[in-house]
């Protein structure tokens, strides 16, 4: 077989492969889509409220006691004394835990929404 014909065959085969989606990337693409959608959900008060509702009571009694104590300390800290205070540090630490829980629920909501779109399509 001459060289140009072989090269053409390889090029045609590559073009054929290029026009197909690689199934290895479908799961990765779907997960990226879920992540992007969940990030957009952070700006939707109704969806954030739903995520809060879904995660309510899931963090354990000690966490909620810590939240109560932090809010109590915040109430008794003068606003001028908040910057750099232990009260603010503790609230931020608690907020991080809460944000992780809500973000996980927003991801769940995004997965559900995308699954419903696939079923409807």
For the segment 49-71, what is each residue's pLDDT rounded down to a tens digit? 999 999 988 888 999 999 999 99
Closest by CA position to 102, among listed 53, 36, 31: 53
Give me the domain span that covers residue 102: 24-120
Average pLDDT over residues 8-21: 66
Task: Check: pTM over 0.85? Answer yes or no.
Answer: no
Question: Would residue 92 count as lying in a domain?
Answer: yes
d(CA 107, CA 39): 8
- What is the number of domains present in the chain? 1
H helices present in 42-85, as ranges: 45-55, 61-75
Question: Would residue 18 count as lying in a domain?
Answer: no
Question: Would residue 11 count as lying in a domain?
Answer: no
Q: Residue 59: its pLDDT value, please? A: 87
Q: Residue 4: its pLDDT value, please? A: 60
d(CA 66, CA 83): 20
Token pair recorded at residue 20: 């197909």
Q: Residue 80: its pLDDT value, please? A: 93
Question: Would residue 39 count as lying in a domain?
Answer: yes
């Amino acid at each position: 077989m001459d060289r140009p014909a072989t090269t053409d065959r390889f090029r045609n085969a590559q073009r054929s492969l290029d026009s197909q989606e690689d199934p290895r990337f479908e799961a990765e693409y779907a997960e990226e889509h879920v992540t992007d959608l969940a990030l957009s959900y952070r700006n939707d008060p109704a969806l954030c409220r739903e995520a809060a509702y879904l995660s309510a009571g899931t963090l354990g009694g000690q966490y909620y006691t810590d939240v109560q104590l932090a809010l109590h300390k915040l109430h008794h800290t003068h606003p001028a004394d908040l910057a750099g205070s232990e009260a603010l540090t503790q609230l931020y630490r608690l907020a991080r835990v809460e944000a992780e829980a809500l973000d996980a629920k927003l991801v769940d909501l995004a997965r559900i929404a995308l699954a419903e779109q696939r079923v409807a399509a």
